[in-house]
Amino acid sequence: MMGSRVSVDAGLGLVALSALAFGTAIALFHFTDPAAAAERRAPSSSGVFVSEMSDVQRVKVTINKSRTFRVDTAFSSIIAGSPDIVDVKSLSDHLIYVQGKRTGTTNVILFDSSMKQIGILDVEVTIDIGTLQQSIQSSTGTRGIRVSASEGQVVLSGMAADAVAAEKAMAIATGTVPKGGVVVNAMNVAAPQQVMLEVRFLEVARSAGRELGMNLYAGNSNLTQVGNTGTAGRPVASQTPQGVPVLSTASGLIGGAVPFGNLLTNVLRTSSGTSVDLLLQALETKGLVRSLAEPNLMALSGDSARFLAGGEFPVPVASTSTNGFPTVTIEFKKFGVELGFVPTVLSRGVINLRVEPSVSELDFTNAVTIQGTTIPALSSRNARTTVELRDGQSFAIAGLLQTRNAQDVQQLPWIGSVPVLGALFRSASYQQKETDLVVIVTPRLVAPAAPGQQLASPLDSRLPANDVDFFLNGQMEVKKRYNDYVNSGGDIKGPYGHIIAPDVRVSAPPAVVTDQPVVKTLN
């Protein structure tokens, strides 16, 4: 074992040269080092060695700090097992000076003048635990976290106020320990908090449209179209057996619906079978769509949670197989009401939320047909953000106000631009759509129900309708009549049921225990 040896004579010479400096250092150490003061107060760790071969005393020294130890038996020389960990000096034949140089463990062996071992000092050099504990307490605001060092490791134990405080304490300790040091997290988080997130998707879509058009249609008995002005009515070249043309019209309003506000009349009919018809359309439409989704989800502080109420639809995807031939695989895409969030309860009741709500639905209006397979589009509204709120506070994390106006005028060239008269050769339509969307989140700190406490559900007081209620009364579900009967008291008047009457003594059979509830008959 490599070590450094210090003789007493060399130590005494050192004392003679710098007695005042070492005396001041020793005095400061004994009055300022908490660990040394604790050892002086404890009789079992006074720093005095017994002159026995087997005596070993274990001590801790803070890195870059020093301690002195007194030996009750005079020694001649001392040897440090690892001089790179500790620096040892003999201040006298009874006093040892030990300074920590880097974290680790080693020993110091004492010999007398005949080189006989008289004691062993096991030294563990640790980081400054007191300073680290003060830094953690001032940064986290909690005094429940304890810091200790053992076997070259820093151990954090005790009770942290929340997960954020524990994470911050670990970060401080990791940055304090020397390179290669290990920090052990043995902390407990007090009362894990649970957060329930309420999300509200509110969407209102309004639409309005006006359409006014005149369409002149000319044709002959051979179903040959002679002329057509405007596009308000798109004719189909067919006639009834009586020779009346049959026209099918399409509107540019909501859903491409056929408007009912049209007038079809015959303007001119000749003996050769040629006829001129007039289709007059005048229509005003209004639409209102309200959408509300309120998903709720709960998670522990610091953990993630995800919720989906919807489904998945197949989407064919083209790919290439291993042999180079094209293949088609199926992928499933999610749709519906989806909510994902990560809550973190901070100090002073503040809740940090990383929230990602989404509402999507299948859109067959914009569907795509590939080789006979119809693939619907996906209409979605989603948001992703991070906010901080207190318990019960609400915040509108996203919103949209969208307005779309569309005007369409179709006419015959030149004639349709003539004032007043041009209205007979012109079709005009106007559409306006407005969409209002807002996403509101509300976090709440919640606790589970007490043991045995029943939680209510929407089906507790409802029953499926029977044939009479469904077919005659048009009810799909009914209230539980038994609950109403009992809650209202029914036809019972006065005291009723099992009454415990101590003043009434009823002789009970031998096998029946006395003082059981009895039934009293009331007049």
| Position 388 in a domain | yes
Give residue 4's pLDDT band: very low, low, confident or very high (50, 70, 90): low
Residue 504 falls inside a structural domain: no
Are 110 and 130 in contact, with CB atoms under 8 Å apart? no
For residues 324 and 186, membership in a common domain is answered with no
Residue 473 domain-assigned (yes or no):
no
Q: What is the pLDDT of residues 258-312, one digit of tens each?
A: 445 566 666 666 666 677 776 777 777 888 888 788 889 999 888 899 988 889 9
Question: Within this chain, do residues 41 and 97 fall inside the same structural domain, yes or no?
Answer: yes
Output the pLDDT for position 493.
Answer: 58
In this predicted structure, the answer to whether residue 329 has a pLDDT above a threshold of 80 is yes
Domain assignment present for residue 40? The answer is yes
Q: Are residues 103 and 164 in the same domain?
A: no
Structure confidence by residue, pLDDT tens digits, 378-412: 988 888 999 999 999 998 988 888 888 988 888 87
CA distance 298 to 430: 47
- Answer whether residue 481 shows pLDDT above 90: no
In the predicted model, what is the mean pLDDT of the chain?
A: 74
Note the pTM of the prediction, 2 decimals: 0.51
pLDDT value at residue 495: 55
- pLDDT tens digit string along 37-90? 433 433 333 444 444 444 678 888 888 888 888 888 888 888 888 888 888 988
At 10, which helix (H) or strand (E)? helix 8-17
Mean predicted confidence (pLDDT) in 468-479: 87
pLDDT of the residue at 387: 92
- The CATH number of residue 161's host domain is 3.30.1340.30
- Same domain? 144 vs 69: no
Domain boundary (191, 212, 229) is at: 191
Residue 441 has pLDDT above 80, yes or no: yes
Residue 509 has a pLDDT of: 53
Taking the alpha carbons of 7, 10, 12, 14 in that order, is the dihedral positive or negative? negative
Instruction: Provide the 8-state DSSP code for 482.
Output: H
Question: Which CATH number characterizes residue 98's domain?
Answer: 2.60.40.1080
94 and 139 in a single domain? The answer is no
Helix (H) or strand (E) holding 444: strand 426-446
Instruction: Identify the pLDDT of residue 42.
Output: 37
Question: Do 117 and 137 belong together in one domain?
Answer: no
Between 172 and 13, the higher pLDDT residue: 172
Examine residue 268 and state whether it is found in any structural domain, yes or no: no
Q: Is the pLDDT of residue 130 over 80?
A: yes
CB atoms within 10 A of CB 100: 23
Tell me which of 191, 220, 244 is where a domain ends: 191
| Residue 41 neighbours by CB under 8 Å, 6+ apart | none
Domain boundaries, position 155: 129-191
Highest mean pLDDT among 144-148, 232-236, 369-373: 144-148
454 in a domain, yes or no? no
The dihedral through the CA atoms of 455, 457, 463, 469 has a sign that is positive
Q: Specify the number of domains making up the chain.
A: 3
Query: Among 75-89, 430-444, 509-523, whose mean pLDDT is lowest?
Result: 509-523
482 is a domain residue: no
Q: Are both 121 and 17 inside the same structural domain? A: yes
pLDDT-derived band at 484 (thresholds 50, 70, 90) equals low
